[in-house]
Amino acid sequence: MIEDRVNPDFIIITQMRIKFSSHSLKRIKEREIAKEDIVNAIKFPDKIETSKIAKNRFLVKKVYYHRKFRKDHLLMLICEKENDILEIVTIIDTSKISKYL
C-alpha cells in the first residue's frame, strides 16, 4: 500500500547516485523518454508517495512535456533507496494525468 506524503529525505539528491534497473532502461527506450526528464522528476517531483510496507520504496510523480507526443504526460518512477543509491525499478508514462495525480 502507498501512503500520500512528501518525504524530505528523498527530495535532495545532490550526493545520491542514480541506478537504472535493466527493466527501467527497457521502458525508457520503449517510451522514448529522455533521461534528463527522469532526473528532473527526481530533483523536482510534483508528488512522492512512500510505501507503507517497504520504507525504502516510493513512487515519484512528475508532469513533463513528452517530446514525441508534443503534450504533457505524467511520469511515474518506482524507486528504491539504499544508502546513497537511488535505483529506478520501473517507469510508467501516461497521458492520463488527472487520473493518477
CATH number for position 85: 3.30.2310
Cell (9 digits) for 70:
508534443
Cell (9 digits) for 3:
501512503
User: How many domains, in total, are found in the chain?
Assistant: 1
In this prediction, residue 13 carries a pLDDT of: 46
Rounded CA-CA distance 38/41 in Å is 5
Of the candidates 64, 67, 86, 78, the residue with the CA atom closest to the CA atom of residue 12: 86
In this prediction, residue 17 carries a pLDDT of: 87
Confidence band for 71, pLDDT divided at 50, 70 and 90: very high
The mean pLDDT value for 35-64 works out to 93
Q: Mean pLDDT for the chain?
A: 87
Q: Is the dihedral of CA 49, 51, 52, 56 positive or negative?
A: negative
Rounded CA-CA distance 26/34 in Å is 12
pTM of the model: 0.81
Rounded CA-CA distance 74/92 in Å is 8
Domain of residue 55: give its range.
Answer: 2-100
Residue 9 has pLDDT above 80, yes or no: no
Percent of the chain with pLDDT over 90: 69
In this prediction, residue 12 carries a pLDDT of: 46
